[in-house]
Amino acid sequence: MKFTKMHALGNDFIIINNIKKFFFLEKKVIQKLSNRHLGIGFDQLLLLELSLNKNIDFHYRIFNSDGNEVEQCGNGARCLALYLKLKKLIFKKKICVSTKNRLIYLKFLNDNFISVNMGIPLFNPKEIPFTTNSIKNTYKLFFKNKYIYFNVVSLGNPHCVVQVKNVSKTPISLIGSFLENHKLFPQKINVCFMEYLNINNIKIRVFERGVGETMSCGSGACAAVAIGVKKNILAEKVYVHLTGGIIIISWRGSNHDLYMQGSANYVFDGKILL
């Protein structure tokens, strides 16, 4: 099986061209491939397929390193766009691709700097999904003798945003694992920890469901900004500082599409015997 290794600010992927439907990858196979000691190593696997809709350039499926299929990945979308360009599968600056539950519109701003239209953020608990009896501005759960306060939003995949004073000193794995697997999130949840710097800058760390903490998370950056704008503490354009670098997020508020700008990088091509 041939594959391409790519990354976006350290969030790494392998992309497999499955246009001819050669591969059906079982959960155990994906887990083995994702192992950083015994396999290739990656946060997500992207499986490229043909689209049945003539207005959509390509369809692709997203699998976390635990083998579970998910709906959305902002960093992965940028890597996919660059892959299509490098492999000469597209020859235009604007691309439309489909995922499990939505369309994504991508635009090349330069060689490897790409804008992604992530669509309209969804805050209704049923759309996350998040189990609650009432809609609130902020939710809370009791953990380790204190309350964790959080907000929920979906950018095609579910996110829980926790505002903290200092992300560097926050026990990301401990709290992230607790929230990811909590019964109130029936499809589990990505957990974004946000440190407010000023109206145009935030720092985040993300604990991704089925993966753990990653160096960056595009949809997590979008989720944090969407919550910040909704709470009137962030401007329409925000620089999101992640462990792997900076992503630019722009959102004008309710009923508007949210945009992400960031880089994508080719690492290498390889092949592995399944």
Active site residues: 73, 217
**Greatest alpha-carbon span in the chain:** 56
8 A C-beta contact, residue 25 and residue 63:
yes
Quote helix, strand, coil % in the chain, to nearest 5.
20, 40, 40
Two tokens at 35? 């192992």
Question: How far is 202 from 246, CA to CA, in rounded Å?
Answer: 10
- Residue 43 carries which DSSP code? S
What radius of gyration do the chain's Cα atoms show? 18
Question: How far is 164 from 161, CA to CA, in rounded Å?
Answer: 10
- Residue 228 carries which DSSP code? H
Two tokens at 163? 């505002």
* Count of beta carbons in the 10 Å neighbourhood of residue 255: 6
Two tokens at 93? 């600056």
Question: How far is 261 from 110, CA to CA, in rounded Å?
Answer: 11
Question: How far is 37 from 211, CA to CA, in rounded Å?
Answer: 15
8 A C-beta contact, residue 263 and residue 245:
yes
Count Cα neighbours of 89 within 13 Å in the Cβ-side half-sphere.
19
* Count of beta carbons in the 10 Å neighbourhood of residue 79: 30
